[in-house]
Amino acid sequence: MRLYYVPRTRASRPRWMLEELGVPYELVRLDPAKGETRTPEHLARQPLGHVPVLEDGDVTIFESAAICLWLAERFPEKGLLPPPGTPGRAAAYQWLFFAMTELEPPLGELARQTRRPEAERDPAAIASAKGRFAAAAAALERPLAANAYLLGPSFTVADLVVAACMAWGKAIAGGLEGLPAVSSWLGRVRQRSAWKRATAD
């Protein structure tokens, strides 16, 4: 199993997943500054030249949430995804798509704005993005006030993907004031040894 990876990108999510699973894998570090994500070989794996990409036998898959879901399904004995056809599986799908459609887009806009020189930033776009992220983050408070994790008492792939987005959001969109359950959950998740290994660089 091989993961194509750039530090401090969405590729940290499947790396975290692999660390949670405890399965052997090869980490292939690419350097965008050297054009290593734009080579013909990598563009054949990922047509936009992005990371992550996972090669798992005959399967090559990109998109971080898709890789994490694939890995959770691939190793059901690890317990990171409820069984097919159960309410828990439906909830896992819900929160995975929530992360990609509600949490990620405003964070992407904030990241684009902060990469610009300060004089070229759009204050209205920044305020809008922060507001959209705050509203999405607030939607997590109720389920996390009721349970230790998004699907109940146990950590799952849903927590992993949502927490990765929330950690990014906390870094670029501000704190989580007024969301004690979310803050407590994120703190617990970030104490996991697999998280620490996956984000060490």
Do 118 and 187 reside in the same domain of the chain? yes
Question: In the predicted model, what is the mean pLDDT of residues 137-148?
Answer: 98
Please report which confidence band the pLDDT of residue 65 belongs to, taking 50, 70 and 90 as the band edges. Answer: very high
What are the φ and ψ backbone dihedral angles of 48, each rounded to 5 degrees?
Answer: -100, 0
Do 72 and 94 reside in the same domain of the chain? no
Do 51 and 124 reside in the same domain of the chain? no
Give the pLDDT of residue 201. Answer: 84
Do 157 and 73 reside in the same domain of the chain? no
Do 44 and 71 reside in the same domain of the chain? yes
Do 144 and 192 reside in the same domain of the chain? yes
Does residue 66 surpass a pLDDT of 80? yes
Do 129 and 173 reside in the same domain of the chain? yes
End-to-end CA distance of the chain: 21
Do 122 and 60 reside in the same domain of the chain? no
Instruction: Find, among 112, 103, 105, 181, the residue nearest to 141 by Cα.
Output: 181
Do 116 and 190 reside in the same domain of the chain? yes
Structural domain that includes position 18: 2-78
**Do residues 13 and 52 make contact, with C-beta atoms less than 8 angstroms apart?**
yes
pTM of the model: 0.96
Instruction: Find, among 73, 74, 50, 72, the residue nearest to 62 by Cα.
Output: 50
CATH of the domain at 151: 1.20.1050.10
Do 58 and 142 reside in the same domain of the chain? no
Do 121 and 173 reside in the same domain of the chain? yes
Average pLDDT, the chain: 96
CA quadruple 91, 139, 179, 68: dihedral sign: positive
Say how far apart CA 193 and CA 65 lie, in whole Å: 20
The structural domain count of the chain equals 2
Do 70 and 104 reside in the same domain of the chain? no
Of the residues 46, 78, 110, the one at which a domain ends: 78
Does residue 75 surpass a pLDDT of 90? yes
What are the pLDDT digits (tens) for 173-194? 987 889 999 999 999 999 999 9
